[in-house]
Amino acid sequence: MVRRVAVVGAGSSGLACIKICVDEGLEPVCFESSDDIGGLWNFRETPEPERTSIYRSLVVNTSKEMMCFSDFPMPADYPNFMHNSQLLQYLRLYAEHFDLLRYINFQTTVRSVLQRPDFSLSGQWEVVTINKNGQEERHIFDAVLVCSGHYTHPTLPLSDFQGHETFSGRCLHSWEYKDADAFTGKRVVVVGIGNSGGDIAVEISRSAEKTFLSTRQGAWVMGRMSTNGVPLDIAVIKRINNVLFQLLPKTLVNWVAERALNNKYDHRLYGLKPKHRLMERKPIINDDLPGRILQGAIVMKHNLEGFKDSRVVFEDGTVEENIDAVVFCTGYIGKFPFLPSTLSEGPYEEVTLYKRVFPPSLHPPTLAVMGLFQAKGPIMPTVEMQARWAVKVFLGQSRLPPKEKMLDVIESERRRNMQSYPCPRQAVLQVDYIPYLDFMAGEVGVQPKLLRLFLRDPALWAKVFFGPCTPYQYRLSGPGNWSGARQAIFTQWERVAQPFRTREIPENTSKFGLCSPLMLTFTGTVIIVVLFSKDKIVPTLEAVTEMLNKSTVFLRELWFSLPQNPDM
């Protein structure tokens, strides 16, 4: 019988795990090596070994309504994309509201997590910790939730580059980067175009003499803003879109989306274009990079090849002289030094996990790893759902398939993902946001029941199906339901709009003003005429009048059949 659960780490994942254990009547004991909560969102001036480290200016890339915990909406006045310090503030509110701090042992580092000799019967673990006075302690737990983060061990591939020992400038990893102060007036090469690489290159380019951004593969770059300035994720992550993506041919979806994106800035012209299609991988989120390229402050370069004194050589043979610093934004390797090495049983020596949560060889399944995945969506609500599932499995209320089946699933998912991510270690990490959440919600018994909603509460159904897939959807029914969930869904657009209301402008006339049916008709007609004339069928005057008439009728009908509520 599972009762005491160890939670390793008190970042956003650890906090969610503590809360969910308490909800389920378990006794969580959290160990946090630092002196505070928040993990990577707790900005520190100097990076600390084995811990995540962020730069001062970091702003989230997922919007507040999408990334909050499912039963704790963010305050309405928070900006949609907040600075890291404000996210920490939210985590403090969460911890305070659910009274989580009393379960945390600060300045206590987990050194090892070992199976007890009678593990196959008891499922128990021995957790060895070291406190701030260097004292070692041993504890027995019925289950373990690993929330130690995975942006902890930077990969710095220096030795891959010939002549690196001759380089006279400074080499650093983005893990060490805090701000651009040290780069004023310098000539800097940034290597790697992930989210960090893009942010850091943009920031350095504002004070450096010249900034070069070197990339092996290129990337699709999207801003945080969608049409009308609505947050990108809230506009895209919808159940209806998920259905459409599955029905429509992938090439068509890619073609349309790439075209729309290239209309803003042509990725080929800007030296950004990758080999892969837009929907195949996560695009990078950056509002300023194209602008900095346009202004010549950032110069795009091919992959880095090597160094020669103060010169940097790129794979296309070009050389940049007098380089003062190279910032490697080359990512991290997920390591869990305290876990038994037997859990790294996959063919690529990574921690092998069924559905990114459970090591398949553990029986009984009393250990779960949180947050070790990549998605085109927010991490926090996904981890929250992982924790809800993990706790159900610990309690025997949800069952895992046999080991062989789990290994098969892991490999088939890896193979599927390798169509877009050729690196097998990367491929295995990828999950599809809504289907992944829905799978776990199904196991927990909290999957929104669309048919029932449609019949009983059509207004809510419309929001759930056509609106953004906000985390509140997983608190509507079933175990752990929250009475505020429906209300939170109905007020989500209010909270999106609230931070903008600092200079209110009275709304006037008809909401859509002149641009309504009349304008639409006009545009529609122009499009039709243009299409026809392309086909060399020069329309006669009557034809035009007729088309105008037809399109008026059609568009008027279409217009009135559309939901008039922008909340959809």
Ligand X SMILES: *[C@@H]1O[C@H](CO)[C@@H](O)[C@H](O)[C@H]1NC(C)=O
Ligand Y SMILES: Cc1cc2nc3c(=O)[nH]c(=O)nc-3n(C[C@H](O)[C@H](O)[C@H](O)COP(=O)(O)OP(=O)(O)OC[C@H]3O[C@@H](n4cnc5c(N)ncnc54)[C@H](O)[C@@H]3O)c2cc1C
Binding site for ligand X (CB under 6 A): 61-62, 194-196, 282, 285, 374, 376-377, 477-479, 481, 506-509, 549
376 binds, among ligand Y, ligand X, none (CB under 5 to 8 A by kind): ligand X
Q: Which is nearer to ligand Y, 52 or 525 (CB)?
A: 52
Minimum Å gap between C-beta 148 and ligand Y is 3
Interatomic CA distance for residues 215 and 289, integer angstroms: 14
Interatomic CA distance for residues 484 and 304, integer angstroms: 52
Q: At what angle do helices 12-23 and 84-97 cross, to 10 degrees?
A: 20
Question: Does 379 participate in binding ligand Y (rule CB under 6 A)?
Answer: yes
210 binds, among ligand Y, ligand X, none (CB under 5 to 8 A by kind): none
Out of 21, 54, 236, 434, which residue is the one contacting ligand Y (CB under 6 A)?
A: 54
Q: Which is nearer to ligand X, 346 or 377 (CB)?
A: 377
Question: Does 156 participate in binding ligand Y (rule CB under 6 A)?
Answer: no
Taking Cα atoms as reference points, which of 418, 423, 427, 413 lies closest to residue 374?
427
Interatomic CA distance for residues 29 and 153, integer angstroms: 25
Q: Which pair of structure tokens corresponds to residue 35?
A: 């002196």
Interatomic CA distance for residues 80 and 63, integer angstroms: 5
Question: Does 274 participate in binding ligand Y (rule CB under 6 A)?
Answer: no
285 binds, among ligand Y, ligand X, none (CB under 5 to 8 A by kind): ligand X
Q: Which is nearer to ligand X, 41 or 307 (CB)?
A: 41
Q: Which is nearer to ligand X, 46 or 510 (CB)?
A: 510
Q: What angle do CA 478, 6, 427 make, to 5 degrees?
A: 70
Question: Does 70 participate in binding ligand Y (rule CB under 6 A)?
Answer: no
Region from 147-155, 216-224, 415-423, 454-462 binding ligand Y, contact rule CB under 6 A: 147-155
Question: Does 14 participate in binding ligand Y (rule CB under 6 A)?
Answer: yes
Q: Which is nearer to ligand X, 407 or 529 (CB)?
A: 529
Q: Which is nearer to ligand X, 194 or 484 (CB)?
A: 194
- The full DSSP string for 148-187 is --S--EE---GGGSBTGGG--SEEEEGGG---SGGGTT-E
350 binds, among ligand Y, ligand X, none (CB under 5 to 8 A by kind): none
Scanning 314-432, the segments in alpha helix (DSSP H) are 380-394, 403-417, 424-427
* Residue 493 and residue 563 in contact, taking contact as beta carbons nearer than 8 Å: no
Minimum Å gap between C-beta 549 and ligand X is 4
Q: Which pair of structure tokens corresponds to residue 113?
A: 């997590």
369 binds, among ligand Y, ligand X, none (CB under 5 to 8 A by kind): none
Region from 60-68, 391-399, 403-411, 443-451 binding ligand Y, contact rule CB under 6 A: 60-68
Out of 124, 148, 211, 242, which residue is the one contacting ligand Y (CB under 6 A)?
A: 148
Question: Does 62 participate in binding ligand Y (rule CB under 6 A)?
Answer: yes
Minimum Å gap between C-beta 151 and ligand X is 8
Out of 58, 191, 219, 406, which residue is the one contacting ligand Y (CB under 6 A)?
A: 58
Minimum Å gap between C-beta 157 and ligand X is 18
Backbone angles phi, psi at 147, to 5 degrees: -130, 40
Region from 28-36, 202-210, 312-320, 400-408 binding ligand Y, contact rule CB under 6 A: 28-36
**Contacts with ligand Y, 169-198, as mask; x by CB under 6 A:** ---------------------------x--
Question: Which residues lie closer than 8 Å to 443 by C-beta, 6 or more apart?
Answer: 389, 392, 393, 398
Burial call 360-381: b when 16+ CB within 10 Å, e when fewer: bebebbbbbbbbbbbbbbbbbb
* Residue 122 and residue 1 in contact, taking contact as beta carbons nearer than 8 Å: no
Q: At what angle do helices 239-247 and 433-444 cross, to 10 degrees?
A: 120
Dihedral (C-alpha) 129, 55, 161, 303: value to the nearest 10 degrees?
A: 130
11 binds, among ligand Y, ligand X, none (CB under 5 to 8 A by kind): ligand Y
Question: Which residues lie closer than 8 Å to 130 by C-beta, 6 or more apart?
Answer: 108, 109, 111, 136, 137
DSSP 307: E
67 binds, among ligand X, ligand Y, none (CB under 5 to 8 A by kind): ligand Y
By Cβ distance, which residue is nearest to ligand X? 195
Minimum Å gap between C-beta 222 and ligand X is 9
Q: Which is nearer to ligand Y, 176 or 457 (CB)?
A: 176
* Residue 360 and residue 368 in contact, taking contact as beta carbons nearer than 8 Å: no
Q: Which amino acid is at 49?
A: P
Question: Which residues lie closer than 8 Å to 371 by C-beta, 6 or more apart?
Answer: 13, 147, 149, 150, 379, 382, 383, 386
477 binds, among ligand Y, ligand X, none (CB under 5 to 8 A by kind): ligand X
290 binds, among ligand X, ligand Y, none (CB under 5 to 8 A by kind): none
**Contacts with ligand Y, 108-127, as mask; x by CB under 6 A:** -xx-----------------
Interatomic CA distance for residues 38 and 380, integer angstroms: 12
Minimum Å gap between C-beta 112 and ligand X is 28
Size of the site for ligand Y (CB under 6 A): 35
Question: CB count, 10 Å around CB of 473?
Answer: 29
Taking Cα atoms as reference points, which of 169, 174, 176, 197 lies closest to residue 298?
197
Interatomic CA distance for residues 320 and 218, integer angstroms: 19
Question: Does 11 participate in binding ligand Y (rule CB under 6 A)?
Answer: yes
Taking Cα atoms as reference points, which of 322, 45, 55, 329 lies closest to residue 208?
322
507 binds, among ligand Y, ligand X, none (CB under 5 to 8 A by kind): ligand X
Q: Which is nearer to ligand Y, 375 or 520 (CB)?
A: 375
Out of 331, 378, 467, 480, which residue is the one contacting ligand Y (CB under 6 A)?
A: 378
> Where along the sequence are the contacts to ligand Y (CB under 6 A)?
8-14, 31-34, 39-41, 51-52, 54, 58, 60-62, 67, 109-110, 147-149, 151, 196, 338, 370-371, 378-380
